[in-house]
Structure 1
């Protein structure tokens, strides 16, 4: 209830009381059915059909996931798909970015003067500090005159400006660092129409390097164009209440980022988990273009095949074969239980259909009936089945 109220407040800012009252009333109205033994899945299905919202979001995210996987290169590297969660807004405000995107880091004065849009920029990735700071540990300096102190101060400034000048001379227009970039450096870059951001998380820095190329440098003594990344477009944009940096048209690898919108954090986190599963399924289907019917169709066909083979075996071993064949029926049986369907009736129909040679006959939980799942586009990658059966065989041997 708390999460529902938070989601309502984050999305529209009003109606938190009414949404809790409505949700409580729905649960109250459904309680007698649960007490009478009605399967919860039947109630969930009815409520889902009535709202219609879930199916719209499912189609929306299905297209987004397929587009995201299609952006990747032939090796389909999973680390090139990033998922960023942005609180606020509606789920249908989520978007697919054809590149790398991450939240704007903390910035100092002068950042507002820096350009926020570049075409074909060079990107410098650093793991060094670009700011003046006092030494705290194991530091000792003995000075006898004011001139000595001034020389130390001048040397510190000189070292910083030398680093900044080398970065500028390399041709970089965008400077990202895992460590802080101070106000002096921020202003210096702004005066030269350069963009900088410090305290970038290591994960985001690694993704930019993998997508744009270049190297993460721990020194700028020999920085040049060969160690810089490249992209077609860089820009900064407001997303919800946060600012995000975007790298599109990355030179080294095809990358993308899913920006998820939503109210409560728990709701967005659940969406993220669902999207991760969907991405893995699409990725597996694309890497292994062989698919089979889902809904227990393959398991029932294997069960039929093993039963037929068992009839040719003499002796008590035939019982073991039949027991092994029955074990495959647990998959469609469990699907029926989860969906609140009569498992006994469905299994009998499945056995009959498979005995007639309908190898793709499986459970269709939407129609609550047996159907041709291959024609109904209820598919699973064949590699998933192969690995599953191999693991089960190894486990029991």
Structure 2
């Protein structure tokens, strides 16, 4: 037993290869730079798209940062960490994932250059953190208050969506993003988009046909063709009870019917059960009934006879969202159902898109949940619209929560670079070199944006530096007219908190890479990687 244990330990420490010192840093930096460089040409509204083909010959064409990062098959651990950082930033902030990844890539490359020139990694890291911390208060100074201004919030949404769709579609989706987020906000407290916004995708039509519903969409047919297809001023009952006689759970228990009288007795019992349950529904005054479980034929016929719209076996997530939207209380016993438990919607109606049917609950009062019916020419387009619209909603919610926005289009990066340089010259020692490289890394964002827009990146950078040396702090790149412009007037705005998180994430990641002084690969680890391939 001890011999086999010793062999395992030997196997664990037996190395397939190792790198030490600056060679280990180089290896990590090259992997990070390779990932970051993939995103460079896709940055900004004029960014190019990437065609990514996986090992199963599935392909995707997109310039969305998360889509590109998600489908890349990254083998190097540092590359994987960078990809995960970008994904996390987009999930929590809605936008800015590409800038975060590119900035992290620039910081590690410039940090490596300083290390190769003889600056100790700890000094580089200290300089980076000093630069990052100096920018935190400055970002607040350069921000403008949102204070519920929907025009500013639309600018945040359209900035997040820019370059992804046509101008008309971008305007439409921006309006939907702002309206959805402001609707589900409760007393100034924002709710999670993933928990309170339902996305239903339907192929057909254009992106501009996407619509917001102040309510919920139930992906089920109406129970009976004899029931109304549209109900106005709907009073909605939500029942989680099984409205049918359930079969015995114990399989050893059998229902024996030996004569017509026995069968008639069973059917009579079922009829009485249905009539009794329906009497409570009718007493409540509901004209729409949605259940999470089944409904027997007697209740179904009674609902149809009384012109009550019924839906059975609603999906659990849709059932819960409907309760949030219409304000109905979910009743576990129909006997307890009362008028106070009913929800409200202006209209409940059945709709058809292509071959698909669904029931739309719209016009709910003060809904705590909303639905978005996503339209597009193909399923891939619908998925892209949902993903990007969800990100835009998160960006809007971040702007509302933290109440401040800054200029996009490279404006904030140029201003931050200017401030860092000014502070750096007052810092003694080699930390100054790291802070100056930090400023140069920030300037790469407007340089890349200018290059992707077809502008001369060097001339644009020099002009931005010149203008920002005065009081034109909001000057950034006008991508349409290929000139510099005030980003407040242009409507290119980003949440200030997202910028703060981007800076911190990139700085922390670069510091982690530059702290590496050894890289060891065990043969066992190498074999596992080969098997995974």
**Shorter-chain TM-score above 0.5:** yes
Q: 1:341 & 1:243 partners in 2: Cα distance?
A: 49
2:437 is the counterpart of 1:323: yes
1:213 Cα deviation from its structure 2 partner? 1.8
Q: 2:234 & 2:217 partners in 1: Cα distance?
A: 16
2:197 is the counterpart of 1:89: no
Judging changes above 3 Å, is the alpha-carbon distance between structure 1 residues 182 and 106 closer, same or farther for their aligned structure 2 residues?
Answer: farther
- Corresponding residue for 2:98? none
Structure 2 length as normaliser, TM-score? 0.58
- Corresponding residue for 1:55? 167
Equivalent of 2:358 in 236, 244, 262: 244
Q: Tell me how large the CA RMSD over aligned residues is.
A: 3.1
1:239 Cα deviation from its structure 2 partner? 4.0
Which stretches in structure 1 are left out of the alignment for 5+ residues? 1-38, 45-52
Q: 1:277 & 1:148 partners in 2: Cα distance?
A: 61
Structure 1 length as normaliser, TM-score? 0.76
Judging changes above 3 Å, is the alpha-carbon distance between structure 1 residues 310 and 144 closer, same or farther for their aligned structure 2 residues?
Answer: closer
1:272 Cα deviation from its structure 2 partner? 1.6
Which stretches in structure 2 are left out of the alignment for 5+ residues? 1-40, 50-164, 513-533
SS at match of 2:440: helix
Q: 1:72 & 1:133 partners in 2: Cα distance?
A: 38
Asked whether the 8 Å contact 2:271–2:298 carries over to 1, the reply is: no
Equivalent of 2:234 in 100, 121, 128: 121
Asked whether the 8 Å contact 2:221–2:358 carries over to 1, the reply is: no
SS at match of 2:180: helix
Q: 2:263 & 2:377 partners in 1: Cα distance?
A: 55
Q: 1:129 & 1:70 partners in 2: Cα distance?
A: 36
2:256 is the counterpart of 1:140: no
1:224 Cα deviation from its structure 2 partner? 1.9
Equivalent of 1:227 in 341, 345, 351: 341
Q: How many residues align?
A: 348
Q: Which fold has the larger relative contact order, with Cα–Cα distance below 8 Å and residues 6 or more apart in sequence? A: 2
Judging changes above 3 Å, is the alpha-carbon distance between structure 1 residues 253 and 150 closer, same or farther for their aligned structure 2 residues?
Answer: same
Q: 2:455 & 2:196 partners in 1: Cα distance?
A: 40
Asked whether the 8 Å contact 1:106–1:199 carries over to 2, the reply is: no
1:61 Cα deviation from its structure 2 partner? 2.8
- Corresponding residue for 1:21? none
Asked whether the 8 Å contact 1:143–1:149 carries over to 2, the reply is: no
2:478 is the counterpart of 1:361: no
2:181 is the counterpart of 1:69: yes
Judging changes above 3 Å, is the alpha-carbon distance between structure 1 residues 196 and 321 closer, same or farther for their aligned structure 2 residues?
Answer: same
Equivalence map 1:309-320=2 (5 Å) = 309-320=423-434
